[in-house]
């Protein structure tokens, strides 16, 4: 017996002498582990399938979970040619690895992940903008909207600086700020709103004020750590 899944490789580690264990994020069943047999040899038929970002149809024997074949749609090879792009793309895989669950389909996350990685690989776009948009979308899908115009507690319109309440992952105005909050500058607040409302296809036309993307990423990374107990590795 076997299954066929549409998947992207989000992790790989050595297993036994010649094998690799890969973690797949599949469209059909969420996260899944599988084994690639004897793929360390340079001529191994499935050696490309142990590489991060490899995307395609995976044919897997059950219950052994040994990969028997892969129809590659895209190996995202471009991501490995630029160290900045590579790091940001790896951060996206870390996000998926952290929030995707085994045997739980998450089609919106699958589609968004592929779109974000494709943009980083093939568009002339600031890869940090893509990661910010992706993280905002991930938070929003879990009920933590950060790209807001109004305070999430009192509803007052936000202008100037605002705060991220780290206990609840909510954006609040200065009056509603509590002890465990970090400042979000006016610049970072508007950068988040702009990136959130701009389609992935249009991100290459955006130009934020210098440094604001790093400020936003730092805030989002702190929030990710608080929500999921995992700090993303960023350059």
CB of 152 to Zn ion, least distance (A): 8
SS (H, E, C) the chain: CEEEEEEEEEEEEEECCCEEEEEEEECCCEEEEEEECCCCCCCCCCHHHHCCCCEEEEEEECCCCEEEEEEEEECCHHHHHCHHHHHHHHHHHHHHHHHCCECCCCHHHHHHHHHHHHHHHHCCCCHHHHHHHHHHHHHHHCCCCCCCCECCCCCCECCCCEEEECCCCEEECHHHCCCCEEEECHHHHHHHHHHHHCCHHHHHHCCCCCCHHHHHHHHHHHHHHHHHCCCCCCC
Selected from 91, 100, 173, 219, the binder of Zn ion by CB under 5 A is 173
CB of 124 to Zn ion, least distance (A): 39
Q: Between 67 and 158, whose beta carbon lies closer to Zn ion? A: 158
Q: Is residue 89 within 8 Å of 170, Cβ to Cβ?
A: no
Residues between 89 and 128 that touch Zn ion (CB under 5 A): none
Indicate whether 153 belongs to the interface with Zn ion (CB under 5 A).
yes
CB of 188 to Zn ion, least distance (A): 18
Indicate whether 148 belongs to the interface with Zn ion (CB under 5 A).
no
Interface stretch with Zn ion, choices 82-90, 144-152, 205-213, 215-223 (CB under 5 A): 144-152
Selected from 107, 154, 186, 235, the binder of Zn ion by CB under 5 A is 154
Q: Between 69 and 174, whose beta carbon lies closer to Zn ion? A: 174
Closest CA to 55 of 71, 32, 36: 71
Contact letters for Zn ion, residues 61-90 (x by CB under 5 A): ------------------------------
Q: Which two tokens stand for residue 179?
A: 């002890």
CB of 173 to Zn ion, least distance (A): 4
Interface stretch with Zn ion, choices 43-51, 148-156, 203-211, 223-231 (CB under 5 A): 148-156
CB of 150 to Zn ion, least distance (A): 8
163, β-bridge pairs: 172, 183
Q: Between 14 and 167, whose beta carbon lies closer to Zn ion? A: 167
Indicate whether 176 belongs to the interface with Zn ion (CB under 5 A).
yes
> What is the binding site for Zn ion (CB under 5 A)?
151, 153-154, 156, 173, 176
């Amino acid at each position: 017996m076997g299954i066929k899944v549409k998947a992207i490789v989000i992790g790989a580690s050595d297993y036994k002498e010649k094998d690799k264990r890969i973690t797949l994020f599949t469209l059909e069943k969420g996260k899944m582990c599988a084994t690639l047999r004897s793929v360390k040899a340079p001529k191994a038929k499935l050696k490309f399938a142990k590489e991060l970002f490899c995307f395609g149809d995976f044919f897997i024997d059950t219950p052994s979970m040994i990969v028997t074949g892969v129809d590659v749609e895209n190996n995202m090879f471009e991501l490995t040619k630029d160290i900045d792009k590579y790091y940001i793309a790896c951060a996206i895989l870390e996000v998926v690895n952290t929030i995707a669950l085994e045997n739980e389909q998450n089609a919106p996350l699958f589609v968004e992940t592929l779109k974000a990685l494709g943009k980083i690989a093939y568009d002339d776009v600031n890869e940090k903008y893509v990661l910010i948009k992706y993280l905002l979308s991930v938070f929003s899908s879990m009920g933590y909207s950060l790209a807001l115009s109004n305070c999430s507690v009192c509803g007052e319109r936000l202008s100037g600086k605002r705060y991220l309440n780290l206990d609840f992952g909510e954006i609040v105005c200065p009056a509603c700020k509590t002890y465990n909050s970090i400042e979000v500058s006016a610049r970072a607040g508007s950068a988040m709103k702009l990136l959130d409302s701009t389609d992935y296809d249009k991100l290459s036309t955006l130009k934020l004020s210098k440094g604001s993307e790093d400020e936003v990423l730092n805030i989002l990374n702190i929030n990710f750590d608080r929500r999921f107990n995992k700090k993303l590795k960023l350059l």
